[in-house]
Structure 1
C-alpha cells in the first residue's frame, strides 16, 4: 500500500468516527421542545395584581368595562373627598368603597388620623403628573351629586394607597359599584395585620363605624 493510500484511509476514518460521534450524542431535533423551559402563563390573580397588590389601571378598565378619564385636581375636603375639573366642569369626587376618618369641620376637633389621611391624599394629588378617574358599573353619583369613582394617581389606585398605609377602611360598599371589592379587601387585611395607623388601635374601627374612644 502506498503512503498516500494510508494517509487517505486515516483521514477517511477520522471523518467517519467524527460523524458517528455527532450522530450518537447530538440532540434529536424532535426532542427540542422537551428540553426548553416553558414559562407558565400568568394566573388570573397574577394578572390582576403584582406581589405588592398593585391593582393596575389596565385591569380596572377591563373588569369595569369603562375607560379612564383624565382630570385636574382643584381642592381637598378630606382623605376620601375632593374637588376636580373634568371636561371643563367642576365636580366633587367621593372615593368608592373606602372611608377615612372625618375632619369634623362643623363640630370641632378632627377624628384621629383624619388629618393624616387628608394630608396623604392631598400630597399625592398635588404632586401628581397625571390623575385619572374611572367609574364602576353602577351609579356615577351619590345623593349629594358627588362623583363615585376610582382615582388613579400616576397609574396607582388612590384607594389602594390609602388602604395599604392604614389611612382608610373599606366602607359604604354598594353593589354593583363594588367590582374591585375583593382586591381592595386583600390590601386592607395586610394593613390590618401590620397594625398600621388606624389599625394600631384595637376597636377604633369596628367594621361599621369609627369609635374615637378606642384611641383617646
Structure 2
C-alpha cells in the first residue's frame, strides 16, 4: 500500500472518529421539559397560554377541584380549569362517591407543596361565581393532570379561550377510562348532566 493511501485511510478514520464523538458527546443535554415529557410542565403551559405562573399561598380545599388561596394579599376561591370532581355536598347530605378521595388528594398535594402556582388561560379569568379559573401546580406538578390520571376527575366545562390543554386532558381521561380507575370503575356514574351516585354500587 502506498504512503498516500495510508494517509488517506488515517485521515478518513480521524474524520469518522470525530463525527462519532460529536454524535455521542456533542449533542446538547435534554431540557427539563424533554426529560419530563411524560408530564405537563409548567413552562409548557406558560408557553401555550402566553401567561406567566403566579405564586399563591394555599389556604384550604373545598373539594377536589376547588380551593382557597391567598393571591396578592387577598383570599380567592380557585376553580381548576376543565376538570370536574364529584361534589362533597356540604349542604345537601352525603358526599358523592370519590368526592372525599378527590378532596384528600388535592389537599395533601397542596398542603405539602413548597410552592403553589397558578396559570391562567387566555380566556376569562373568573366564572359567574367570581371564582378564579386556572391551572394549578404543586411544586411544578399540574393538579388537573394528577386528578385525571388517578380517575378522580373528568374533563368537563370546556370553554373557548380556556381550553388550551383540552387535548392533553382528554388523552389522560381516556387512559384512566381504559384502566378503569376511580370514577371510571362504574358504568354511567358520569353522564352528560353530571355525576349520578345512584349508579355506583
TM-score, reference length from structure 2: 0.87
Q: 1:192: how far off?
A: 0.9
Q: Which residue does the alignment assign to 2:9? A: 25
* Partner Cα separation in structure 2 for residue 200 and residue 176 of structure 1: 32
Which has the greater radius of gyration?
Answer: 1
Q: Which residue does the alignment assign to 1:104? A: 89
Query: For the Cα contact (< 8 Å) 1:162–1:168, is it kept in 2?
Result: yes
* Partner Cα separation in structure 2 for residue 114 and residue 159 of structure 1: 15
Q: 1:34: how far off?
A: 6.7
Q: Which residue does the alignment assign to 1:129? A: 114
* Partner Cα separation in structure 2 for residue 27 and residue 184 of structure 1: 54
Q: Secondary structure at the match of 2:75?
A: strand
Q: Secondary structure at the match of 1:26?
A: helix
Count of residues in correspondence between the two structures: 194
Q: Which moved more, 1:31-40 or 1:65-74?
A: 31-40
Match of 1:73 among 58, 65, 78: 58
TM-score, reference length from structure 1: 0.81
Match of 1:186 among 171, 176, 198: 171
Q: Which residue does the alignment assign to 1:202? A: 187
> Which segments of 5 or more consecutive residues in structure 1 lack a partner in the other structure?
1-16
**Deviation digits for residues 146-192 of structure 1, max 9, x if unmatched?**
00000111001110010011100001111111011111111111111
Q: Which residue does the alignment assign to 1:91? A: 76
Q: Which residue does the alignment assign to 2:160? A: 175
Q: 1:22: how far off?
A: 3.7
**Deviation digits for residues 114-155 of structure 1, max 9, x if unmatched?**
011000000001100100011000010011110000011100
Query: For the Cα contact (< 8 Å) 1:48–1:56, is it kept in 2?
Result: no
* Runs of 4+ displaced beyond 6 Å: 29-34, 38-41
